């Protein structure tokens, strides 16, 4: 449906405006859209009247499209000529409408006062509705503005909280990094302290500990390190004067820090700079053990000064080093006493015409160099020579003391004469009554002058090995007696074997041939091979060297946890009186 109006005067414009408003209302155009449409049309009509001339206003109703588009009202205002030359003066507008058709009579507007008044009231009514809607929108806008303000305030507060939380998190991260760094430094110090302590206590040589200390500290914890041991006269003669701080540390037992500025180190006394080293700070830490000063550790810092935690660690390390040095010195003193005792017990071998003797003794390498193995050789009143090798269970000083008692008892029994078996039987009774919980093994060989036979007996001991002049080696494995000292009554038997000139008898303890992983038989086999490899001139001319050549290959796979004893007896042709070497104590 299309309506057209000719606009020439203001009355025509008013009529057209009133008609458009009515038709828009009839077509169901909403109040706000209708008001906007009529207001925009009024503005355009006023402009047209200002320009003058005739204008044509057209209202067209566009029905809904098949695609579902809504019905609309389409308004066109253009010059009356309509030839298209004034296309730029054409104005168009549209508004949504309902599907119901308007009343055609609504397009006719009379100029009666009543009609104009009605149109004016209708326009005011629409304006009131628009103002009411505008008031509602203003209230809604005010509400949303307040809500937005509150939201902004909340956002600002949240931003402030987030900023504070961010700063707190940064502070926590910084504290965490500092704590992690401090923990890593503490772990590094503790690891160094543990490793250094293990290295210091691993040695029982105090000189090695003194040499090791500077190697551990330089260059991480000290630029230079000097160990001053008190009472070391040789070291004192060849060394420069000591700083006064070191002397004070040795006298008082407290660490001293000598520098131009106070160090502020925990547990350390500050002193003026050293006259010997005025430009370098010195940290002098006493090396003490059992409340006795053993020496002083004199250090210069790796940089300008020490970190307090490093100083605490160095003081603890010096304490542990003092204990390690004290233990090493005590061990060395005990070892020297034990070796002196061992050498006193191993007397010189006797000189006998037609018989050469060579002995080797190696105490276990673990602990004191003293043990329960022993060898001995002595004459009986009838001129016979007794050679014995024994082994007391255990190691150390206790075993050495018991060994000396058995050795003395055996010599006392031998004065009354008796065969090797009889001597071992008496020794068995002696040990059983003297030390019921101590046991021993022994083998005794008797050489009688002018008699080409060897008499021997063994009690729980590895069998003797005999090398003939032709180089054949025999293991004398006749049935031995039981161990000495066990709660068993026994009479140990004697055994006799031929002893031609040039023969060599080897008596030994189990430490020479026994290995944990192999047992004793392979060791005895290796001993027989070592003896058979020796030449007869070597045995007759250099029995000492022959003993070393037998011993050295046997000890290559030794664990060093058992005493080793070897006694070689070489039977000559009887011409002359050969010199017999002294016994050898080897480590």
Confidence at residue 367, expressed as pLDDT on a 0 to 100 scale: 54
396 and 444 part of one domain:
yes
List, for residues 324-336, the tens digit of each pLDDT value.
Answer: 999 999 888 877 7
Domain boundary among 109, 136, 171: 109
Peptide bond into 399 cis (omega under 30): no
* Res. 358: pLDDT tops 70: yes
Whether residue 580 is predicted with pLDDT greater than 50 in this model: the reply is no
Q: Would you say residue 143 lies in a domain?
A: no
Task: Examine the fold and report which residue of 289, 314, 337 is the final residue of a domain before the chain moves on.
Answer: 337
According to the model, what pLDDT value does residue 109 have?
Answer: 63
Give the model's pLDDT for residue 577.
Answer: 36
Residue 365: per-residue pLDDT: 54
Answer yes or no: do 557 and 421 share one domain.
yes
Confidence of residue 560 (pLDDT cuts 50, 70, 90): low
pLDDT in tens, 118-152: 666 677 777 777 778 788 888 888 898 899 999 99
For residue 131, tell me if it sits in a domain. Answer: no
- Are 495 and 422 within one domain? yes
Q: Are residues 317 and 359 in the same domain?
A: no
Residues 6 or more apart in contact with residue 374 via CB below 8 angstroms? 345, 346, 361, 388, 389, 390, 391, 392, 403, 404, 406, 407, 565
C-alpha span between 388 and 477 (Å, rounded): 17
Residue 505 shares a structural domain with residue 524: yes
Strands 385-395 and 584-585 turn out to be unpaired
Among the listed residues 422, 250, 223, the one whose alpha carbon sits nearest the alpha carbon of residue 305: 223
Range 232-241 average pLDDT: 61
413 confidence band (pLDDT: 50, 70, 90): very high
What's the helix, strand, coil split of the chain in %, to 5?
45, 20, 30
20 within a domain of the structure (yes/no): yes
Domain CATH number, residue 277: 3.30.450.40
- Whole-number pLDDT of residue 282: 92
Residues 417 and 289 in one domain: no
Least confident of 76-85, 202-211, 256-265: 76-85
* CB neighbour class for 521 (10 Å; exposed up to 12, middle 13-18, buried from 19): exposed
| pLDDT for residue 583 is more than 70 | no
Given this model, what pLDDT does residue 399 score?
Answer: 74
Q: Are residues 21 and 80 in the same domain?
A: yes
pLDDT of residue 411: 93
What is the predicted pLDDT for the residue at 100?
59
Give the range with max mean pLDDT: 8-17, 244-253, 549-558. Answer: 244-253
| pLDDT tens profile 212-227 | 999 999 999 999 999 9
Query: Is 460 inside a domain boundary?
Result: yes
* Region of residue 549 (phi > 0: left; psi between -120 and 50: alpha; otherwise: beta): alpha
Query: What per-residue confidence (pLDDT) applies to 559?
Result: 65
pLDDT value of residue 447: 93
Instruction: List, for residues 360-396, the tens digit of each pLDDT value.
Output: 988 775 555 566 788 999 999 988 999 999 998 876 6
Query: Residue 61: is its pLDDT beyond 60?
Result: yes
Residue 122 inside a domain? The answer is no
Instruction: Supply the range of the domain harboring residue 224.
Output: 203-337
Q: Is 296 helix (H, G, I), strand (E, B) or coil?
A: strand
Structure tokens at 229: 């041991």
Residues 298 and 389 in one domain: no
Based on the fold, state whether residues 401 and 502 are members of the same structural domain: yes
Do 433 and 298 fall within a single domain? no
What's the number of domains the chain is made of?
Answer: 3
In a domain, 147, yes or no: no
> Which of 109, 129, 148 corresponds to the end of one domain?
109
**Higher pLDDT pick, 105 / 296:** 296
Beta strand 292-300 pairing with 224-229: antiparallel
Q: Specify if 191 maps to a domain.
A: no
Give, for 361, the enclosing helix (H) or strand (E): strand 355-362
Check which CATH number belongs to the domain holding 379 and give it.
Answer: 3.60.40.10
Q: Do 308 and 357 lie in a common domain?
A: no
Mean pLDDT of 416-443: 90
Of the candidate ranges 35-44, 52-61, 239-248, the one whose mean pLDDT is the lowest: 239-248
Q: How far apart are CA 209 and CA 322, in angstroms?
A: 10
**Are 316 and 365 in the same domain?**
no
């Amino acid at each position: 449906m299309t309506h057209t109006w000719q606009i020439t005067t203001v009355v025509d414009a008013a009529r057209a405006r009133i008609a458009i408003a009515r038709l828009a209302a009839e077509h169901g155009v909403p109040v706000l859209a209708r008001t906007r449409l009529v207001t925009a049309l009024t503005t355009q009509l006023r402009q047209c009247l200002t320009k003058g001339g005739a204008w044509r206003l057209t209202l067209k109703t566009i029905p809904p499209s098949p695609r579902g588009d809504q019905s609309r009202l389409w308004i066109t205002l253009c010059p009356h000529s309509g030839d298209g030359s004034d296309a730029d003066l054409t104005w168009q507008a549209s508004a949504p409408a309902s599907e119901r058709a308007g009343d055609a009579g609504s397009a006719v507007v009379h100029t009666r006062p009543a009609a104009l008044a009605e149109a004016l009231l209708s326009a005011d009514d629409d304006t009131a509705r628009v103002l009411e809607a505008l008031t509602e929108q203003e209230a809604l806008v005010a509400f949303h503005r307040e809500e937005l303000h509150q939201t902004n305030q909340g956002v600002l507060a949240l931003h402030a909280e987030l900023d504070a939380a961010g700063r707190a998190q940064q502070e926590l991260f910084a504290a965490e990094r500092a704590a992690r760094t401090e923990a890593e430094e503490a772990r590094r110090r503790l690891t160094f302290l543990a490793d250094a302590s293990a290295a210091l206590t691993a040695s029982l040589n105090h000189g090695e500990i003194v040499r090791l200390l500077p190697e551990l500290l330089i260059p991480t914890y000290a630029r230079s390190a000097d160990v001053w041991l008190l009472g070391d006269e040789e070291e004192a003669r060849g060394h420069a004067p000591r700083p006064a701080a070191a002397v004070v540390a040795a006298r008082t037992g407290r660490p001293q820090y000598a520098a131009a500025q106070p160090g502020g180190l925990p547990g350390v006394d500050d002193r003026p700079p050293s006259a010997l080293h005025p430009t370098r700070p010195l940290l002098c830490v006493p090396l003490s053990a059992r409340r006795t000063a053993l020496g002083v550790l004199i250090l210069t810092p790796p940089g300008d000064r020490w970190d307090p935690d490093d100083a605490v660690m160095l003081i603890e390390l010096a304490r542990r080093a003092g204990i390690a040095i004290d233990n090493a010195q005590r061990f060395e003193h005990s070892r020297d006493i034990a070796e002196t005792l061992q050498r006193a017990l191993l007397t010189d071998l006797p000189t006998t015409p037609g018989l050469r003797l060579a002995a080797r003794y190696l105490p276990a390498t673990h602990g004191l160099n003293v043990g329960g193995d022993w060898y001995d050789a002595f004459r009986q009143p009838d001129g016979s020579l007794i050679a014995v090798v024994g082994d007391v269970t255990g190691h150390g000083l206790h075993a050495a003391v018991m060994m000396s008692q058995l050795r003395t008892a055996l010599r006392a029994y031998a004065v009354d004469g008796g065969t090797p078996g009889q001597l071992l039987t008496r020794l068995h009774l002696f040990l059983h009554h003297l030390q019921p919980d101590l046991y021993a093994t022994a083998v005794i060989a008797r050489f009688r002058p002018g008699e080409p036979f060897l008499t021997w007996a063994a009690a729980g001991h590895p069998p003797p090995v005999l090398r003939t002049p032709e180089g054949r080696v025999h293991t004398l494995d006749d049935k031995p007696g039981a161990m000495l000292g066990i709660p068993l009554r026994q009479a140990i038997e004697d055994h006799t074997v031929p002893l031609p000139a040039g023969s060599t008898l080897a008596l030994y303890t189990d430490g020479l041939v026994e290995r944990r992983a192999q047992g004793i038989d392979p060791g005895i086999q290796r001993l027989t091979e070592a003896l058979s490899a020796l030449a007869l001139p070597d045995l007759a001319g250099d029995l000492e060297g022959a003993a070393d050549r037998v011993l050295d290959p046997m000890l290559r796979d030794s664990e060093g946890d058992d005493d080793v004893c070897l006694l070689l007896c070489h039977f000559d042709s009887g011409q002359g009186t050969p010199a017999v070497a002294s016994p050898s104590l080897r480590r």
